[in-house]
Amino acid sequence: MDTSVEYVPVGKISGAFGVKGWVKIYSFTDPRENILSYSPLYLSRKGEWVEVKVVEGRLQGKGVVMSLDGVTDRDQVLPLVGVELAIAKTQIKPAGKDEYYWSDLIGMSVVNLQDEQLGQVDSLLENGAHDVLVVLNKDKTERLIPFVLDDIVELVDLDNKVIRVDWESDY
């Protein structure tokens, strides 16, 4: 495994689909079927990323199913349930102006306009109208801040890993 490669999680295997070794996927991509545009994918196995080729895939109801090279029956799928799927960061197209990948925002410091440290981005939530930053302070207290550019989010500085928000520390 090449340790210089950065990996970005894009989903996880959530179950078996049918008897021919297809897997159900919980996709982290938006829209969810975008996960099908990546090949190869990488499986997390014993702390290492192992390359796997996607043979075929499609939307199935509200989810995504796919066939992976070398996985041909249901019994081979069962040990894979819960395994995370990722892509190499080099497979991602650059984000456009004022667009950000969630993976780039995780871990960034969040400060308000008064330069008060609000915490670090732990994760993001999608609520329909807009995404929401889940920010944890040093006491592990969670703060939810709407990710609305030019209204609440004043600046995203990827180089310095800082997000400046118009948000009071006592909200």
What is this structure's pTM? 0.64
The predicted pLDDT at position 116 comes to 95
Question: What does pLDDT average to over the chain?
Answer: 90
* Distance of alpha carbon 107 from alpha carbon 133, whole angstroms: 11
Same domain, 86 and 123: no
Q: What is the DSSP string of 53-77?
A: -EEEEEEETTEEEEEETT--SHHHH
Is residue 48 situated within a structural domain? yes
Look up the CATH number of the domain holding residue 34. 2.40.30.60
Same domain, 60 and 31: yes
Residues in the chain, overall count = 171
Domain with 132, as residue range(s), is 102-165
Assigned token pair, 2:
């090449």
The predicted pLDDT at position 11 comes to 92
* Distance of alpha carbon 21 from alpha carbon 42, whole angstroms: 17
**pLDDT per residue as tens digits for the range 107-126:** 999 999 999 999 999 988 88
Domain count for the chain, please give it.
2
Could you say which of 71, 91, 111 is where a domain stops? Answer: 91
The predicted pLDDT at position 2 comes to 52
- Counting other chains too, the contacts that 33-41 makes at CB distance below 8 Å and 24 or more residues apart are 33/59, 33/64, 35/10, 35/11, 35/64, 35/85, 36/64, 36/66, 38/10, 38/87, 38/91, 41/10, 41/68, 41/85, 41/86, 41/87
Assigned token pair, 139:
């006491």
Q: Name residue, tokens 């509200």.
A: 62
Could you say which of 45, 70, 91 is where a domain stops? Answer: 91
Mean pLDDT across the stretch 62-74?
93
Share of the chain above pLDDT 70, in %: 98
Same domain, 11 and 87: yes
Is residue 2 situated within a structural domain? no
Could you say which of 91, 125, 151 is where a domain stops? Answer: 91
Look up the CATH number of the domain holding residue 157. 2.30.30.240
Same domain, 43 and 62: yes
The predicted pLDDT at position 3 comes to 60
